[in-house]
Structure 1
Amino acid sequence: MDQPKHRPYIGPEIKLPEVTVKAFFLGALLSVILSAANAYLGLFAGMTVSASIPAAVLSMAILRIFKNHNILENNIVQTAASAGESLAAGVIFTFPALVLMGYWTEFNYLETVLIALCGGVLGVLFTIPLRSALIVKQNLQFPEGVATSEVLKTGEKGGGAVKYLLWGGIAGALAKFMEAGFKLWHGVFESATLAGNRLYAYFGMNLSPALIAVGYIVGIRIASLVFIGGVISWWLAIPLYVAFVGAPEGDAVGIGGAIWSGQIRYLGVGAMVVGGLWALINLRGAISMAVKSGMDALKKGGAGVNQLRTEMDAPMSWVIIAIGAMIVPVFIIYIREIEQVGITALMSILMVIAGFLFSAVAGYMAGLVGSSNNPISGVTIATILTSALILLALLGSGAEKGPAAAILIGAVVCCAAAIAGDNMQDLKAGHILGATPQSQQIMQMVGVTAAALVLPLVLQLLNTAYGFGPATEAQPDALAAPQATLMESVARGVFSGDLPWTMVYIGAALGVVIILLDKFQESRGSDFRIPVLAVAVGLYLPFELDSAIMLGGIIAWAVGRYKRQQPNWSEETENESGPGLLFASGLITGEALIGIFLAIPVAIYGSGDIMALLESPLPSVIGLAVVLGICAWLYSIGKKELE
């Protein structure tokens, strides 16, 4: 269905400066900062969120310093900044797996930059034909894109709105510094019981304001679905496993973690593979439309003489040449790992096809549910599992580099899909505002490049300071890196033959059941839908993360309930961004940046206790009180309107 015709905020006949020198450098700088913050968040929490709105607010606040600036210039800055932030998701979901499997001892700077850059650029290129198909011709919501355009329209309020970002940043930074820097309290509030080696119960919550902020941003629906996934894993599957198989040795908390790590989290793999395939089936019409739009644009040879400024994409001939150019460095890297030209060529082709298909899926899902809820993990797991099985058939189980090759293929696809989903939101915002798509596509490249050059350094710093994967005596503050840990296990498990396929099959069956429930909800006309990938995320996240995200979702629900009771409430304002979203974004950014800052002395001195004020931390209930205080502050700010 075509979208109704609308008049852009800035008409196509009006030409305003967009890609200016100050916009170029500010966009690149914000891309670096927000990508670093999102990298930390994703490694810690297993989820990332869109940075388009905080980037837009920061852009407005900074550009107000200059005499000449305009709304399209602000839009260009946030476009570059959010491109870097989304690339971080693709990088941290895959590259740490190479370190976890011992293939890399440290992050190879040049290879990491090249793969991240090629994947990110391919994501931008794939969105060029998708833009017309998904934004102009289909009536999709693109919630963050619409919200970003509304924030930019209220640009005169940028000075007032930025204070909520700053307050949140300070609160998140202080809480993180007291917990991880001064070591005043334990970072997790948890308890578990094992009775008779057959009855098991567990509850835990990570005392992280950033996690609660994630739940607030994604909302009660997605937060509750993630929590349901955690309930299935930790309150049903693990107790059942203990009841029928028995419990390993260890304390009650450690027993649950061991069972989840070795068996139960693979339920999420099965559910994610089913979810990724289901997304492809559902979106076959949109994908074919995108392919047709791209071919039509290629036949026309670029922009027509009378084409409106607001519909000018980068010429398709350039896009095709650029895609071919991006394959070359990826092919060179792959052949170093696989060492067989024919197989390398096959895998490069698979990478391009999977990259385009899953970019289309990510772009379409961003239009439906927003880029913060995008199925990046699902499509990457599906890619890595498929690649590993193909490589296993071609190379045999003795191929030492097989798992690493599968991860490297998945890394390019993951970066492309992550970029595609977020960039479609920015192109939607530009479509509403009257931006020039070609200018946005140029700045998306700038944001990707800036982030790709910095992210390997951030990853190396975090790995040296904290390490990735389950916490150990040597690395007590290790970042969980849930997606990377899972993908490493899948790639290696295919070749070693010890992948717990029973759990994968049960997870796949569970995914089918969830899809059927979702279709039932659709047939009833219910607003509460059950996307399988949201539940799958909860299945493979530690419960302490699921519960903290759920708490944030409850706060968002309470804020929404309060606002709906106000006399000036309307459906049009239901999804508008407000101070609560900005405060939550600040919580995430502040905590993440402090986490990166604290990694520096840890990396230098090899200890996380350099700044510890106490010999042993206080009970975690102290941290719980602090976090609940921040929750109350978030609720009170969420009830406000932008001044």
Structure 2
Amino acid sequence: MSHGPSQETAVSDESQTTTERAQRDGPAPTVPAGKSIAELTIKAVLIGLALNVVLLTANMYLGMRSGMTISASIPAAVISMGVFYALRNVGIGGTILENNIVQTMTSAGEALAAGVIFTIAGVTYLDQSIDIAETASVAVLGGLLGVLFMIPMRRYLIVEKHEELPYPEGTACADVLEAGSEGKGGIKLISLGFLSSFVYMWLANGMAAFRTTIQTAFSVGQTRGFAIGGDFTPALIGVGYIIGPKIAGYVFGGGLLAWMMLIPLLITGGFVPEANANAALMAQANAVWENYIRYVGAGAMLVGGFYAILSMTGTIRDAVGTAVAELRGSAATATGQRRRTQRDLPMKLVVVGAAVIALALVALPQVQVGLLGGVIAVIAAFLFVAVSAYLVGVVGSSSNPVSGMAIATILIAALALKSTGVTDPVVVLVTASVVAIAAAVAGDTSQDLKTGYLLGATPRKQQIAQIIGIGISALFAGWVLSFFHQAYGIGSNTIPAPQAGTMALLSEGVLTGTAQWGMILIGAVFAIVLILMNVPVLPFAVGIYLPITLATPIFLGGLLRAGIDKYVAWKGDPDGSAAEQTTYRGRIIAAGLITGEAIMGIVIGALYIRGIGTETGVPYPLGLDAGTQTILGVVALVALLGIFMGGVLRGSQTADA
């Protein structure tokens, strides 16, 4: 395998023919390397910062609600195109590379949100409040590690592995930006999804006009505790549509294993916690899931994470080789003599920056992970940055198993720290938070760099934009997290934050000796069986520790995607243009669904904080009975699906206008 560019390669770069470069570096970019256009400008930074905060908030809500976040690159690209289109009407245009900077900065907020809500939010499960300063400190340190550690891997993963690693969101985002002249069409699509979702969730949660959740538990013969149901909200359906039927099916498969197999076996076998022994059957199922089944998911995630690391040894070796080769070369060779599209931030900055962050993890009073915790965090961050950057190249950022990497870190850190006398699970949780945030940011950074590679962006400028985006996201993350906790309560039915609960449970369980190691072992063995069968482990594990009410609508979204694709193929699509058009339209509308529900969540949360609806649970209830709410819920769901399909299929045979 190649270990990156040598000094001779860099020096002779400009003397190579176009054909030789294409064979080495992949397809010709939209903006040639020899052409310089506006890129990292003040207006691009300002627009990027504004969208960063909005989509940070939206993804924190979505992630705590569904257990999954969605890459913000595509909606950010569409929105920024609309903004630049409006500015162009008043004489202030924007280039395609400025649009790319905006989506790069915006998606940084989404990525950082994932790491924060999957880990730091878990302190609320440990009866501690959200510390805004601590959240900001951990977020910025973890985020910077994610960007810095990705730099030496960029050339290997993005350029040399161009054909092997498609980076789906990054490639799709490049397609969207290249179609920037169709900005009006993209804005119409995302507005359709946004408004549909916004109204839907206002009627459901603002006025209690209908129910979104339908669930039931039942017995078959002597076996008790089968449970099935769904919380059919726009965001969850949008998640399923974007990740597609295959990954959605794996998630739902994990849910079926947990709720239709393991939970009935445990309830029938008398494993219901004593406090819930006389509760309704659905309550018993929830209690068993919380006390036992999530450990099974944790075990599966642990094995899946380590298996991913083993699969990545070649990539890690090559990345280290690239870094060493550049450090041995002169500064001029590393930067000045490379073409614009191959210039990264210098490796010396990576090394010095990582060292400073390691010291900060030990020294900053807001972090307090100690020397051992800091060492574990930095080493694990480097390993899992490599895993994350590779995996998202295959399955995409939305399916990036950040929580699995955090679980692996928690188990390692908890066992190591326990041996030194540490008894506070928050210390373990914070250590894992650094790793989770670094892994999430690295996955997003790699997608953004893929987009830039296809467009002809300057990697160094994208990396600077990512760092700026990380900084602003970190400042707001604690405030947003605290807002949602005040409004809904982290761990409530509205925002169950399943990963955060699992992380807290594991951190405390390992330190106190109460961890369900037997259940963890069951999950680990199950994961090994899946690996032997060549079945993806991590989506199944996500399904196991998600409530079935979240896995079901995600699966419905995946089925919707499959049905639309089959319909388009049945109608006739000889050149594949109709399928490409429906994929584009569907992703944009689905992004609108997710954003609309998230923004409505903010609106209703603000009303709760003001005291409106806190007694009834609904700000402005209509007073309808349960039966009517259920019937209207089915009608509303069918209407939502109809609007979605109509919006997607309307452009399936023609180009988007």
TM-score bracket, normalised by the shorter chain, equals over 0.9
Whether 1:609 aligns to 2:618 is yes
Residue in 2 aligned with 1:213?
Answer: 238
Residue in 2 aligned with 1:141?
Answer: 166
What pairs with 1:352-431 in structure 2 (closer than 5 Å)? 352-395=378-421, 399-401=422-424, 403-431=425-453
Over 3 Å counting, the alpha-carbon distance change for 1:160 and 1:615 in structure 2 is closer
Residue in 1 aligned with 2:457?
Answer: 435
Deviations 1:386-408 (A, max 9, x none): 1111111121xxx442x111100
Q: CA offset at residue 301 of structure 1?
A: 4.2
Picking from 271, 279, 282, the partner of 2:300 is 271
Q: CA offset at residue 300 of structure 1?
A: 2.1
1:432 partner amino acid: L
Deviations 1:141-172 (A, max 9, x none): 11111111111111000111111101111111
1:505 partner amino acid: L
Picking from 196, 199, 208, the partner of 2:224 is 199
Residue in 2 aligned with 1:467?
Answer: 489
Deviations 1:418-472 (A, max 9, x none): 0000110110010011000001001111211121111211111110111021x4x
Counterpart of 1:94 in 2: which secondary structure? helix
Whether 1:82 aligns to 2:111 is no
Deviations 1:605-635 (A, max 9, x none): 2543332232765433322321222122222
Contact persistence 2:25–2:160 (CA under 8 A): no
Residue in 1 aligned with 2:32?
Answer: 11
Contact persistence 2:137–2:367 (CA under 8 A): no
What pairs with 1:91-490 in structure 2 (closer than 5 Å)? 91-102=116-127, 104-105=128-129, 107-138=130-161, 139-194=164-219, 198-245=223-270, 247=272, 248-302=277-331, 303-333=334-364, 337=368, 344-395=370-421, 399-401=422-424, 403-469=425-491, 471=492, 477-490=493-506
Picking from 86, 91, 107, the partner of 1:65 is 86
Counterpart of 2:269 in 1: which secondary structure? helix
Contact persistence 1:380–1:414 (CA under 8 A): yes
Residue in 2 aligned with 1:522?
Answer: none
Counterpart of 1:64 in 2: which secondary structure? helix
Deviations 1:487-512 (A, max 9, x none): 11000111222211111100000000
Q: CA offset at residue 200 of structure 1?
A: 2.8
Q: Distance in 1 between matches of 2:474 and 2:194?
A: 24
What pairs with 1:545-564 in structure 2 (closer than 5 Å)? 545-564=550-569
Residue in 2 aligned with 1:38?
Answer: 59
Q: Distance in 1 between matches of 2:366 and 2:352?
A: 22
Q: CA offset at residue 202 of structure 1?
A: 1.8
Q: CA offset at residue 197 of structure 1?
A: 6.7
Structure 2 alignment gaps of length 5 or more: 3-23
1:168 partner amino acid: G
Q: CA offset at residue 195 of structure 1?
A: 6.2
Deviations 1:472-528 (A, max 9, x none): xxxxx541100000111000111222211111100000000111111xxxxxxxxxx
Deviations 1:322-379 (A, max 9, x none): 22222333222479746xxxxx222211111100110110000011111111111110
Q: Distance in 2 between matches of 1:459 and 1:497?
A: 30
Q: CA offset at residue 51 of structure 1?
A: 1.1
Picking from 574, 585, 589, the partner of 2:595 is 589
Contact persistence 2:267–2:285 (CA under 8 A): no
2:632 partner amino acid: I
Structure 1 alignment gaps of length 5 or more: 339-343, 472-476, 519-529
Q: Distance in 1 between matches of 2:575 and 2:506?
A: 47
Q: Distance in 1 between matches of 2:578 and 2:444?
A: 23
Counterpart of 2:216 in 1: which secondary structure? strand
Over 3 Å counting, the alpha-carbon distance change for 1:81 and 1:224 in structure 2 is same
Deviations 1:209-254 (A, max 9, x none): 1000000000000000000000100011111112322652211211
Deviating more after overlay: 608-617 vs 484-493? 608-617
Q: Distance in 2 between matches of 1:210 and 1:336?
A: 33
Q: Distance in 2 between matches of 1:295 and 1:631?
A: 53
Deviating more after overlay: 477-486 vs 354-363? 477-486
Residue in 1 aligned with 2:6?
Answer: none
Contact persistence 1:27–1:78 (CA under 8 A): yes
Q: Distance in 1 between matches of 2:345 and 2:25?
A: 24
Whether 1:637 aligns to 2:643 is no
Counterpart of 1:169 in 2: which secondary structure? helix
Over 3 Å counting, the alpha-carbon distance change for 1:417 and 1:306 in structure 2 is same
* TM-score under structure 1 length normalisation: 0.92
Residue in 2 aligned with 1:341?
Answer: none
Contact persistence 2:267–2:284 (CA under 8 A): no
Give the RMSD, CA atoms, in angstroms: 1.9
Over 3 Å counting, the alpha-carbon distance change for 1:131 and 1:336 in structure 2 is closer
Counterpart of 1:200 in 2: which secondary structure? strand
What pairs with 1:619-634 in structure 2 (closer than 5 Å)? 619-634=629-644
Deviations 1:530-561 (A, max 9, x none): 31101100010000111010000000001111
1:442 partner amino acid: I
Q: Distance in 2 between matches of 1:360 and 1:35?
A: 24
Q: Distance in 1 between matches of 2:336 and 2:126?
A: 54
Q: Distance in 1 between matches of 2:624 and 2:635?
A: 21
Q: CA offset at residue 290 of structure 1?
A: 1.0
Q: Distance in 1 between matches of 2:347 and 2:284?
A: 55
Contact persistence 1:114–1:329 (CA under 8 A): no
Counterpart of 2:310 in 1: which secondary structure? helix
Q: Distance in 1 between matches of 2:478 and 2:607?
A: 19
Counterpart of 2:86 in 1: which secondary structure? coil
Residue in 1 aligned with 2:16?
Answer: none
Number of residues of Structure 1 aligned to a counterpart in Structure 2: 615
Counterpart of 1:277 in 2: which secondary structure? helix
Contact persistence 1:147–1:575 (CA under 8 A): no
Whether 1:491 aligns to 2:500 is no
* TM-score under structure 2 length normalisation: 0.90
Deviations 1:285-340 (A, max 9, x none): 011111111222222244344210000001111222222222333222479746xx
Q: CA offset at residue 182 of structure 1?
A: 1.3
Whether 1:20 aligns to 2:49 is no
Deviating more after overlay: 206-215 vs 597-606? 597-606
Q: CA offset at residue 55 of structure 1?
A: 0.7
